[in-house]
């Protein structure tokens, strides 16, 4: 079975943003593999309904209502989920927001909210997860970044792109610090996967939700340090975005 690190299977997993989209999809996939799940999101009614669906296949399901921008609430929720599950082996920092507008056009609140949720909220989750992992001296931290983190995007995507670049940088810093330790860090760079955030995007490179989630879970289980998902076409695109001139790279995303 994949998902091993030092002989350990990651049985107990916390997923944030689990009430919809990629978080819900990953919860369903891991439940089908018999894992124990701690699910967190703002919409507790959606979480309760999802938990009821997953309980027959998952080893255990615990839920917690959580707004990740309430940074003081994050470690409380993580500790409560870990206690209910009897520990935690993996935390998937997934909660995110896709609001945005061109900078300087009178919609600063939307851009600031996106950065607060995607970057400040992610940092609060990383702090909480790493506190647990450092205490127990093992764990797997998974950061759901974005292909938009590879290169800054224009107009309505600028703040979102910046927030995800920050998430990637946090992951890279931890990877350098924790190299060779029992704590693994994975940074995921999803391309266009069909979710509410991407529903209005018109592109031939959109991946259906099920295929996208399976690609994400496979990358997570492999515990790679960095993975563009799905690998095709996003791995070569991620390389190209680093070196191509702006006039060409703007057409790729």
DSSP letters for 161-212: HHHHHHHHHHHHHHHHHHTTSSEEEEEEEE-SB-STTTTT---TTPBPHHHH
The pLDDT of residue 249: 57
Express each pLDDT in 202-251 by its tens digit. 565 657 789 899 999 999 999 999 999 987 877 878 877 777 777 665 56
Q: Is the peptide bond preceding residue 164 cis, with omega within 30 degrees of 0?
A: no
Tell me whether strands 183-190 and 36-41 are parallel, antiparallel or unpaired. Answer: unpaired
**160 labelled catalytic:** yes
β-pairing verdict for 8-9 and 4-5: antiparallel
pLDDT at 103: 97
Predicted local distance difference test score (pLDDT) of residue 5: 44
Distance CA 180, CA 182 (A): 7
**What pLDDT was estimated at residue 202?**
57
H or E stretch at 89: none
What pLDDT sits at residue 196?
Answer: 65
Kindly list the distances between the CA atom of residue 81 and the CA atoms of 27, 90, 211, in Å, as whole numbers in the listed order: 15, 12, 28
DSSP-derived pairing of the beta strands 90-93 and 12-16: parallel
Q: Which of 30, 133, 160, 234 is catalytic?
A: 160
Total structural domains in the chain?
A: 1
| Full-model pTM | 0.90
* Domain of 85, in residue numbers: 4-249
What residue ranges of the chain have pLDDT lower than 70? 1-8, 195-206, 247-253
5, 46, 86, 140 from 126: Cα distances, Å:
20, 24, 20, 11
Residue 74's CATH number: 3.40.50.720
pLDDT attached to residue 198? 54
């Amino acid at each position: 079975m994949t998902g091993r690190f030092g002989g350990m299977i990651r049985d107990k997993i916390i997923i944030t943003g689990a009430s919809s989209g990629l978080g819900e999809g990953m919860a369903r996939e891991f439940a089908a593999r018999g894992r124990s799940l701690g699910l967190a999101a703002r919409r507790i009614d959606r979480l309760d309904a999802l938990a009821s669906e997953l309980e027959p296949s998952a080893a255990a399901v615990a839920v917690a209502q959580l707004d990740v921008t309430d940074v003081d609430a994050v470690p409380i929720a993580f500790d409560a989920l870990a206690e209910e599950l009897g520990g935690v082996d993996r935390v998937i920092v997934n909660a995110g927001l896709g609001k945005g507008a061109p900078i300087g056009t009178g919609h600063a609140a939307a851009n600031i909210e996106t950065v607060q949720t995607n970057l400040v909220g992610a940092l609060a989750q990383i702090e909480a997860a790493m506190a647990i992992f450092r205490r127990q001296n093992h764990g797997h931290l998974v950061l759901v970044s974005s292909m938009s983190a590879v290169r800054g995007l224009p107009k309505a995507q600028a703040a979102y792109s910046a927030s995800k670049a920050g998430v990637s940088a946090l992951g890279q810093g931890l990877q350098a610090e924790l190299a060779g330790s029992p704590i693994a860090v994975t940074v995921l760079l999803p391309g266009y996967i069909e979710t509410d955030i991407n529903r209005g995007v018109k592109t031939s490179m959109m991946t259906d939700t099920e295929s996208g989630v399976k690609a994400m879970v496979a990358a997570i289980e492999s515990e790679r340090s960095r993975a563009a998902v799905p690998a095709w076409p996003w791995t070569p695109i991620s390389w190209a975005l680093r070196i191509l001139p702006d006039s060409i790279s703007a057409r790729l995303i």
